[in-house]
Structure 1
Amino acid sequence: MLLSSRLPSRPRSWLFSRRPRAALLAAASAALVAAALPAPTELGIGDPLFPALGNPGYDVLAYDIGLTYGGSNTQPLEAVTRIYARTTAPLERVNLDFARGTVRSVEVDGKPAAFTTAGEDLVITPGKALDDNELVWITVRHTSVPGGSGGWLRTGDGLAMANQADAAHLVFPCNDHPADKAIFTFRVTAPDGLTAVANGQPLVTTTRRAGNTTWTYRTGHPMATELAQVSIGRSAVVHRKGPHGLPVRDVVPAEDRDLLEPWLKKTPGHLEWMEQQVGPYPFETYGLLVADTATGFELETQTLSLFERGLFTQPGIPAWYIDAIMVHELAHSWFGNSVSPRRWSDLWLNEGHATWYEARYAEEHGGISLQERMKDAYALSDTWRAAGGPPAAPRQGKPGEKLGLFRAVVYDGSALVLYALRQTIGAEAFGRLERNWVAEHRDSTATTADFVRLASKTAGRDLTGFFKDWLHGQKTPPMPGHPDWHSRPPAADGQ
């Protein structure tokens, strides 16, 4: 009776509706269920640094994201995001992170579902509550809007993505936390003459229709949402081979193909060097995405690292520095991408390791002393801790401060922890620890506590006290082997 009373009267257009009557009944049923539940609320998984991100109750297994680009990087893209997930608890509602764009419709297992918003969540109410351990398809038709802080970057000829740390949900609905990694498929349609690329490798031959081309890519390994990458523009795609025949794919502005080649051809050597340090490259392909945009950062988007064009073309930047930055982003393939942080306070494991191998490479190939760099970092370490917190307990950035989490303490300040660890356990044990770490946690997530346990096992002694002081202390401990190193008092302004 209630169901009937909530159905609309049947105008003549009902007879010609493309939606079957069963679908309309399901939609009405979902609306009834939504009305009977408490008001929707924004949820999170309890990460202290990003309390509203991530959502409890399900594990995303795969994303299938369709994007249609009309040719203007100021206009919204039409998009369809399909999410394949397994519930980990009974759910009457499903929360997704999504904060920029218009939702057109939502379906759960092919049936229309009610939806609303709460904070930066899209809150979905299926017609029937979901059981624990249930496989479910969620389809969201929406727009994806360029502009603003994070998410889509406007480039000189199109778009690229920069989603770290908390901006993937500005592009597509998702469980936007690195603790929930999944396989991604991207289907990108753009006008002929443009090239679309994404993480992973091409899945099928591109298709052309009515002046548009559709490009399809899929990752071969699970990926965190913050590492998603789609680039659309007038690009040249350059192919070569890396170690063991690894496909290396670089994507650059077409007009810069020859200009950038001296840098692009370095990647196979960078890969060989990193494999010598920590073992086999963990993914199916690698390459550089050089974008004509000004961001102030480079980004380790999985299998296709994002670089500003200006890094390679601006006069005055030393060659050794560019080389080292390329290695920094490559090192994230192991530290941050393959082994992802369970919580954002584990970020030091990403950036500390990438900075460590950046500095090691600069010493071996550019003559830039690692010890002197670490000595300088030690002198500034107390200042960095005062400004941003200890390496494993970073402070939140200020509201609206996108890069507030990415302070010096999680870069050189965290590489300094690794230097102290190597001084403590020796170079041979340190090397084994690094290789075992990336091998044991490949394609997964890990925590600081996991690293402490493995380091203690590798060293054959309990290192809990060492890590407590170095990772959580407000003051920098004495550097093993360097009693003459001193940390300057924090500056009055905390910088």
Structure 2
Amino acid sequence: MLLLKNAMASLFLAALLVLTVTAQPQAGVDVQHYVFRLTLTDASDRIAGEADVTVQFTGAAGRELRLDLVGTGGSTPTGMTVSGVRRNGQPVPFTHASDALRIPLEPVPAGGEKQVFSITYAGVPTDGLVISKNKFGDRTFFGDNWPNRARHWLPVADHPSDKSTCEFIVTAPAHYRVIGNGLLKEETDLPGNLRRTHWTEAVPIPTKVMVVGASRFVVQHVDTLRNVPVQSWVYPQDRDAGFFDYAPAAPILAFFDSLVGTYPYEKLANVQSKTRYGGMENAGNIFYNEKAIHGKKNLDMERLVAHEIGHQWFGNSVTEKDWPHVWLSEGFATYLADVYVEHAYGPARMAEYLQKERKEVFDFAKENPTAPVVVTQPADLMALLNPNSYQKGAWTLHMLRQRVGDEAFWRGLRTYYGRYRNANAATEDFRQVMEETSGKDLSGFFKQWLYTPGYPKLTGTWAYEATQKELVVQLRQPAGASYVLPLELALYDVAGKLLGKETVQVDGAEKTFRLKVTGVPASVVPDPDTEVLAEVELKKR
């Protein structure tokens, strides 16, 4: 996802109010499928739900099944109350406390056994399902689960490592259109001016991107890619502007499909919504903030669409094993958006965005000098939405592309996607794939850029020695720094004509390079093609 500008501070405040440390997934339990039957009304914000949860027991699960579901209590009259639980159709006892639903497993299931647990519940969601009025005053319902907020309205194993297929069967007043993951299976008008809408997702996805939305919508069928429909769902009042803004989704989808691999889902819907983010990458069902509407050519908006579509491959299909590896989602989507700009508008426009992203990395590092990209388990998951996960992750991929070469880089990404499609991966899994496909040892590269905080700061001087026809360059790193990186230098004459480019290998605290050159350089520009994440100050001696 991407954040709206100026939204970071309020987002973190909201996070502190509603989020707790995420529980680790229960060992020996693999949720295979969810069926969520939900009833929405205009009379109140109370929802009624029944969830069928198909679980495969893969080992020693213990004597109870634990599902995440935020209960009632505290200072607000919200949360879910469970009225009954059935195991394979038979009522069973349960406890619901501390935002966990616990169901005794007597008898204890055998390894490999599948069972279905049916939970009946109701309540007013504290979060996760945003029930409110949109910017035009119309009532709406929008799931907004990232990172672990599905538990506020759905009984789930709320961790990215437990992926499953799902269905949403929503009964709501007939003036709502309901959008969900997967393919539309049923729309049936019911007595009482109600409508039942059934969406079914046959591809396993994490709960963070498992949602529905209900609103007054107009829908445009934009295009298809190998029978995958591309759609735009917008508020009627924003019809023209919204259809214009979401139209680039079709060529972006086709470009990423050809670059990375086959698109993983049954459709791609781009949906105007009440998400708190600028965009939220729900699987095949992207929600954009209702205010992110322009109705005219806007490259930032186009990049937002590209970022969220890029998540369909990385974040949704290939999902991080655990939260410390979230850069595998956000860094990848950020870089794919940059690559789309390169493809559609040329390398110079891509370089402009890379330079902005580099500055954001520098600014963040100055305020957080001890923070690496891959962190230990964070107490506040919202704190992961920072320039390390996004911009430094993207820059790591950009430099990896230079390190191994274009052909090996894209072959590696395609192999990584193919190997971990519909599954989970950690940073070391990605490193191993890139080493296999490039034939290079990348352990030092990954350690330097992902596990080490900060970034290189290089200072130095240059001089031209006419007698030797040499450019003499001296470069220094601060005490204690030991970054290893290539640094390209562009040499220009007094008329501004490029004399040539030379690359030096920085690998020590201080180093002098003597370079044979043709012509007399009047200026030397470090990193002319925006290829390294480094702060370089180079002066003429």
- TM-score of the aligned structures, taking structure 2 as reference length: 0.75
CA spacing shift, 1:115–1:259, aligned 2, 3 Å: same
The yes-or-no answer on 1:298 pairing with 2:279 is: yes
Instruction: Give the aligned partner of residue 28 of structure 2.
Output: 57
The unaligned stretches of length 5 or more in structure 2 are: 1-19, 71-78, 456-482, 489-505, 507-525, 528-532, 537-541
- After superposing the two structures, state which structure 1 stretch, 353-362 or 322-331, moved more: 353-362
- Measured in 2, the distance between the counterparts of 1:90 and 1:337 equals 26
The yes-or-no answer on 1:247 pairing with 2:247 is: no
- Measured in 2, the distance between the counterparts of 1:378 and 1:258 equals 35
Of 105, 110, 114, the residue aligned with 1:131 is 110
- Measured in 2, the distance between the counterparts of 1:197 and 1:57 equals 33
- Measured in 2, the distance between the counterparts of 1:294 and 1:373 equals 25
Contact 2:160 2:208 in 1 (8 A): yes
- Measured in 1, the distance between the counterparts of 2:119 and 2:275 equals 32
Instruction: Give the aligned partner of residue 141 of structure 1.
Output: 120
Instruction: Give the aligned partner of residue 185 of structure 1.
Output: 167
The yes-or-no answer on 1:336 pairing with 2:307 is: no
The yes-or-no answer on 1:381 pairing with 2:361 is: yes
Instruction: Give the aligned partner of residue 429 of structure 2.
Output: 450
Instruction: Give the aligned partner of residue 164 of structure 1.
Output: 146
Instruction: Give the aligned partner of residue 383 of structure 2.
Output: 404
Contact 2:325 2:374 in 1 (8 A): yes
- After superposing the two structures, state which structure 1 stretch, 50-59 or 296-305, moved more: 50-59
- Measured in 2, the distance between the counterparts of 1:237 and 1:106 equals 38
The unaligned stretches of length 5 or more in structure 1 are: 1-48, 490-495
Superposed, which structure 2 residues align to 1:284-323 within 5 Å? 284-291=266-273, 293=274, 295-313=276-294, 319-323=298-302
Superposed, which structure 2 residues align to 1:77-156 within 5 Å? 77-88=47-58, 89-99=60-70, 100-148=79-127, 150-152=128-130, 154-156=132-134
Contact 2:338 2:354 in 1 (8 A): no
Instruction: Give the aligned partner of residue 157 of structure 2.
Output: 175
Instruction: Give the aligned partner of residue 267 of structure 1.
Output: 249
Q: State the superposition RMSD in angstroms.
A: 2.4
- After superposing the two structures, state which structure 1 stretch, 389-398 or 162-171, moved more: 389-398
Deviations 1:321-355 (A, max 9, x none): 10011000000010111111111111111111100
Instruction: Give the aligned partner of residue 303 of structure 2.
Output: 324
| Aligned-partner residue type, residue 153 of structure 2 | V
Contact 1:70 1:191 in 2 (8 A): yes
| Aligned-partner residue type, residue 467 of structure 1 | F
- Measured in 1, the distance between the counterparts of 2:376 and 2:334 equals 17
Contact 1:91 1:131 in 2 (8 A): no
The yes-or-no answer on 1:437 pairing with 2:416 is: yes
Instruction: Give the aligned partner of residue 210 of structure 1.
Output: 192
Contact 1:379 1:487 in 2 (8 A): no
**Cα distance, 1:444 vs. partner?**
1.1
CA spacing shift, 1:171–1:63, aligned 2, 3 Å: same
- Measured in 1, the distance between the counterparts of 2:359 and 2:146 equals 29
The yes-or-no answer on 1:75 pairing with 2:54 is: no
- After superposing the two structures, state which structure 1 stretch, 216-225 or 369-378, moved more: 369-378
**Cα distance, 1:197 vs. partner?**
1.6
**Cα distance, 1:202 vs. partner?**
1.0
- How many residue pairs get aligned? The number is 433
- After superposing the two structures, state which structure 1 stretch, 116-125 or 435-444, moved more: 116-125
Deviations 1:192-219 (A, max 9, x none): 2111121111123434233211000101
- Pick the structure with more helix per residue: 1
| Aligned-partner residue type, residue 271 of structure 2 | L
Deviations 1:190-249 (A, max 9, x none): 012111121111123434233211000101211100101111111123223222232123
Instruction: Give the aligned partner of residue 472 of structure 1.
Output: 451
- Measured in 1, the distance between the counterparts of 2:25 and 2:124 equals 21
CA spacing shift, 1:54–1:209, aligned 2, 3 Å: farther
Contact 2:26 2:61 in 1 (8 A): no
Deviations 1:444-469 (A, max 9, x none): 11111110100001111221121111
Contact 1:341 1:347 in 2 (8 A): yes
Contact 1:91 1:132 in 2 (8 A): no
**Cα distance, 1:87 vs. partner?**
1.0
| Aligned-partner residue type, residue 158 of structure 1 | T
Deviations 1:226-283 (A, max 9, x none): 1011111111232232222321232211232233221232221111121232122111
| Aligned-partner residue type, residue 97 of structure 1 | D
Structure 1 SS opposite 2:175: coil
Superposed, which structure 2 residues align to 1:362-373 within 5 Å? 362-366=341-345, 369-373=349-353
Deviations 1:72-93 (A, max 9, x none): 5x51110001100111225321
Contact 1:374 1:419 in 2 (8 A): no
Contact 2:275 2:287 in 1 (8 A): no
Instruction: Give the aligned partner of residue 352 of structure 1.
Output: 331
Instruction: Give the aligned partner of residue 15 of structure 1.
Output: none
- Measured in 2, the distance between the counterparts of 1:191 and 1:51 equals 35
Of 459, 462, 465, the residue aligned with 2:438 is 459
**Cα distance, 1:374 vs. partner?**
3.2
- Pick the structure with more strand per residue: 2
Q: Look at both structures and tell me which one has the larger radius of gyration over its CA atoms.
A: 2
Contact 2:234 2:243 in 1 (8 A): no
- Measured in 1, the distance between the counterparts of 2:104 and 2:164 equals 23
Deviations 1:413-435 (A, max 9, x none): 10011011111111111111111
Report sequence identity in percent.
25
- After superposing the two structures, state which structure 1 stretch, 232-241 or 155-164, moved more: 232-241
| Aligned-partner residue type, residue 404 of structure 1 | A
Instruction: Give the aligned partner of residue 46 of structure 1.
Output: none
Contact 1:187 1:216 in 2 (8 A): yes
